[in-house]
Chain A
Amino acid sequence: MSVDALLSRLEAASDSLVEPAVLQPLDPFVELAGEEFRKRLFATEGADGAALCLRPDFTIPVCLSHLNSHLQRPPGEPVIYRYKGTIFRKHRTVGSPEFEQAGTEWIGHQDETTTDAAIFALAMDCAGAVGLSPVVRIGDAHIFDALVAGLQLPAAWHGRLTAAFGDPARLEAAVARLSAKDKSNGLASRLAPALAQVDAESARAIVDAVVGLSSQQVTSRSADEIAEHILEQAADNGPDPAAAAVIKRFGSIQAPVNRAVDALGTFANEVGVDLSDALENFARRADAMTTHGIDTAAMGFEAAFGRRLSYYTGFVFEMGDPAKPGAEVIAGGRYDKLIALLKDGVSIPAVGFSVWLDRLPGQGTP
C-alpha cells in the first residue's frame, strides 16, 4: 500500500512517465561512470555486435530519452519525468542484483536553489508516504569548488581536487600528495628550474622544442596538449601543506543544515578564503526548504559529502532508514554537466532522485 502512496506522490508532481528500455547502450555508462562502474554492469551484445547492458540506473537513460524526444519540444524547456522499473547491478552489498527503483528527474529548471528545495521537499514527501522518518545527509559541491578556487593553488590542482571530491579515498590521496613534496623525477621537474628563468612565451617555446624532439609518432594526444601539461607540471613543483590542512579541515565540517552557513562562515574567515557566494546560495536553498515546511535543524550537512561521478555538480542528498543504517533509501542530486556530456553543445541543468523500493520499511530485504 505504502508503495502506491509513494508512486501517486511522484505521479502528481510530474509531467510525464518515461519508460526507458531495459537494454541500454553500454558506452554512455562506461564513458561517464568509469571502468569501476563497469564491473557492476550486466553487459551483453546485440545481434549486430553493439555493446549493451541491462539498465543499471535511470538517470542516464532518462536524459538520453529526453534528448531523443526533444524534436517535439525545445530541449531546454523544463519538464519533470517520473519512472519506475527494474535495474540491474552486480556486487551489491545489500539486496538482490535485480531490484526496483522509482524516481524523478527534473530537466531544464533554471532557478537552481528553488528547484533543489522543491525536489528535496518532494523526496521528503515520498519518504513520509512510506512511513519513513529518514536520517538525512546533505552536501553541496559548489562549496568545495569555491574553496579550491579560493586557495590559489597551481592550475593542476583544481582538476585533481574537484575530480576527487565525493570519493574519500581519492580525496585523501590527493590531499596527501598536496601536503608532501612530489618525488617525481619526470621531465617536467628537470625542466622546471630552466623554465623558471624565462618568461611564459620563451618557456612555451622551449617546451614546444622539447616535445618536437621526441618521435613523430601519432598518438591520441596532440603536441599542444603535451606541451601545456609539461608547463603545468613544471609550475606545480612545491608542496602546499597549509592548503592541504585547510582542505582536510573542511572535510571534517558537519552541522545541522540551519547552522551550516555559520559553521562554514567561521571556517572561511579563519582560513581566509572567500566562500560568500556559495554560502549565500546554500542559505537561499535552506530558506526555500523551510518554506516547504522542512525542519532544517533535523537535516545533517556534511562538507565532504558528494557523488563520485563527475557529472554531479552541486546539491546532493541521501535519506536513510534509521533502523537500517548504511543503505540509503532515497538518493538524489544535481547533475548539470550530464546532458552536455551526452550531447555536445547542449547544456541543460537537471536534478533528480531515486527511491530503492526494495529498501523501503517493511519490504523485507535485510
Chain B
Amino acid sequence: MSELVLAVPSKGRLQEHALDFLTRSGLKVERARGGRDYLGRVTGLEKVRVAFLSASEIAGELVQGNAHLGLTGLDLLHEAVDDAIDREARIHVMAPLGFAFADVVVAVPERWIDVDTMRDLADVAERHRARYGRTLRVATKFVHLTRRFFADAGVADYRIVESVGATEGAPAAGASDLIVDITTTGSTLVANQLKILSDGLILSSQAQFVASRIASWDEGSRKLAAIVADRVAAEMRARAVLELRAVVDEPQTAAAAARELFGATTPFGAEHLPLTLHVVRRQASACASWLRERGAPAVVVTQVADVYEESALTSELLAKIA
C-alpha cells in the first residue's frame, strides 16, 4: 500500500504555526496518543503518514528521500545540500509559508569598531594570522552556508568551530572570535554584545513547503501529493485574494480590463452576472472603486475560505516528481 510521508516540525512555535497552517489547508493532523506522539495521520487521508521531526531532521529526510513532503526552513535546506544544482535535483521548494522568518548573519563583537563589512573582516582575518599565526575561528552550525559566503566575500583565513547550541555565547566564552547564526530580531545578538556586519546577511529564511524529488514516488503517492498540494494551494490562494462581485455592463470587457489593471482573475468566467473577480488583497479596494466608477450599483467584497482551481503549485509539483 503506497503511503505518503509528510514531515512536520515537532517542537515549539514552529510546530504551532505549521499545524495551524495545515489545519487551515484542510489537512488536520490527528495524533492517536496526543501531543507527545511522534506519528500522526491527516483526517480523511488515511494514507498520509505524518512524521514529527526537528526542523533540521526534516531537511535531512527530504534531501535523502525518506519523506515525500515536509515543512521546514530554507536555511536548513541550504545547509543540508550545499550545491545549488544538487539541491534542485533532490528537493522542490513549493511555496514559502509566511512564518518562521529569520536571517542567517555574520556577527562580530561590538568592540571590533574597525570591522563594518566583510572586506574589513577579510583584512582582520589576514592580519590576525600574520600577528598570531592562527586563523580566526567562526562558531556556527551553518557550515556550508558559511563556507560559501566567506569564499564569495574573499575571506580565506578562518576556520569553523561547529556549535550546536547557544552559538551567540561562543565569543564571550572564548570558543570563537565571531559567529554565523540565525536571528529574528537581533536582540539575542545585542544582549551578547555582538553586531551584524553591514553586508553580513547570508540568507533570509522562512518556513517552506517542500517536496523531495527522490522519495519513492509511485502513482498512489503522487495522487496523494496532488491532493495535499491542491488543498495547500486553495488555502494560499484564499489568503492572498479577496472575492469581488458586481453587476457591470459588458462583463467580458470589464474582466479583461480588471485583469490588466489589477491582475484580477475570473474563477467562473465572465459570461455570467454578477461578475466574480479574485484580486490580491492590497488591490481589492482600488478594484472595487474602479468597478463602481464603471457603473456597478454595488460591489460586494468577501473573504473566501478556499479557492480550488488549476494551481501552478500542484502542476509544478507533479512535473518535479514525475
Instruction: Verify A184–B147 contact, CB threshold 8 A.
Output: no
Given A186-B117, A215-B193, A219-B177, does the pair A35, B112 have CB atoms closer than 8 Å? Answer: no
Do residues A230 and B113 form an inter-chain contact, with CB atoms below 8 A?
Answer: yes
- Does B271 count as interface, using CB distance less than 8 angstroms? no
Give bound CA distance, A186 to B111, whole Å.
14
For the complex, what is the distance from the CA of A184 to the CA of B131, rounded to whole Å? 24
The residues in B between 123 and 175 inclusive whose CB is less than 8 angstroms from any CB of A are: 123-124, 126-131, 133-136, 146-147, 150-151, 154, 156-160, 171-172, 174
- Interface residues on chain A, number (Cβ under 8 Å): 41
A215 touches B110 (CB 8 A): yes
Chain A, Cβ-Cβ closest to B176: A220
CA of A225 to CA of B115 in the docked complex: distance in angstroms?
A: 12
- If A170-B154, A221-B124, A310-B129 touch, whether A185 touches B198 (CB-CB below 8 Å) is yes
B146 — which chain A residues lie within 8 A by C-beta? 35
CB <8 Å contact, A185 and B158: no
Q: Besides A187-B114, A226-B113, A230-B114, 19 other CB < 8 A contacts?
A: A34-B135, A34-B157, A35-B159, A39-B147, A163-B156, A163-B157, A170-B156, A173-B154, A174-B154, A186-B115, A217-B110, A217-B111, A220-B171, A221-B109, A221-B111, A221-B128, A221-B177, A225-B131, A229-B127
A31 CB-CB contact with B under 8 Å: yes
A48 interface residue per 8 A CB criterion = no
Given A34, A38, A233, which contacts B120 in the complex, CB threshold below 8 Å?
A233
Give the chain B neighbours of A182 by CB distance below 8 A: 119
Residues of B within 8 A of A153 (CB): none
| Nearest A residue to B193, CB-CB | A217
Query: Would you give the shortest CB distance from B15 to chain A, in whole angstroms?
Result: 33
Nearest-CB distance from B290 to chain A (Å)? 44
A interface majority secondary structure: helix
Given the known A-B contacts A184-B120, A185-B198, A186-B114, are A31 and B159 also in contact in the complex, defined by CB atoms under 8 Å? yes
**Bound-complex Cα distance A221 to B123 (A):** 13
Per-residue CB proximity of B272-291 to A under 8 Å, as 1/0? 00000000000000000000
A93 to chain B: closest CB distance in Å?
A: 14
Let me know if B120 and A214 touch, CB within 8 A.
Answer: no
- For window 143-177 of chain A, which residues contact chain B by CB distance below 8 Å? 156, 159-160, 163-164, 167, 170, 173-174, 177
The number of residues on chain B lying at the interface, defined by a beta carbon within 8 Å of a beta carbon of chain A, is 40
Write the B95-123 contact mask toward A (1 if CB under 8 angstroms, else 0).
00000000000000111111111011011
A226 to B116, CA, bound (A): 12
- When distances are taken between beta carbons in the complex, the residues of chain B under 8 Å from A198 are none
A30 within 8 A of B: yes
Kindly report which residue of chain B lies nearest to residue A210, judged by CB atoms: B113
By a CB distance below 8 angstroms, the chain B residues around A31 are 134-135, 159
Complex Cα distance, B155 from A164, in Å, reads 10
Chain A residues contacting B124 (CB-CB under 8 Å) are 221, 229
Residues B111 and A214 in contact, CB atoms below 8 Å apart = yes
The one of A35, A187, A221 in contact with B147, judged by C-beta atoms closer than 8 angstroms, is: A35
Whole-angstrom distance between the Cβ of B150 and the nearest chain A Cβ = 7
**Contact string against A for B residues 168-196, beta-carbon threshold 8 Å, 1 for contact and 0 otherwise:** 00011010010000000000000001000
- The answer to whether B116 touches A184 (Cβ under 8 A) is yes
**Inter-subunit contact A159/B123 (CB<8 Å):** yes
By the criterion CB–CB under 8 Å, are A30 and B159 in contact?
A: yes
Is B156 a contact of A34 with CB atoms below 8 Å? yes
Q: Complex formed: what's the CA distance from A182 to B117 in Å?
A: 11
Closest 7 CB pairs of A and B: A186-B116, A219-B109, A229-B114, A217-B111, A230-B114, A220-B177, A217-B193
A342 nearest in chain B by CB position? B133
> Which B residues are CB-close (under 8 A) to A34?
135, 156-159
Q: Which of A38, A160, A187, A233 is within 8 Å of B126, CB to CB? A: A160
Contact between A229 and B123 (Cβ–Cβ < 8 Å)?
yes
Looking at the assembled complex, report how far the CB atom of A83 sits from the nearest CB atom of chain B, in whole angstroms. Answer: 26
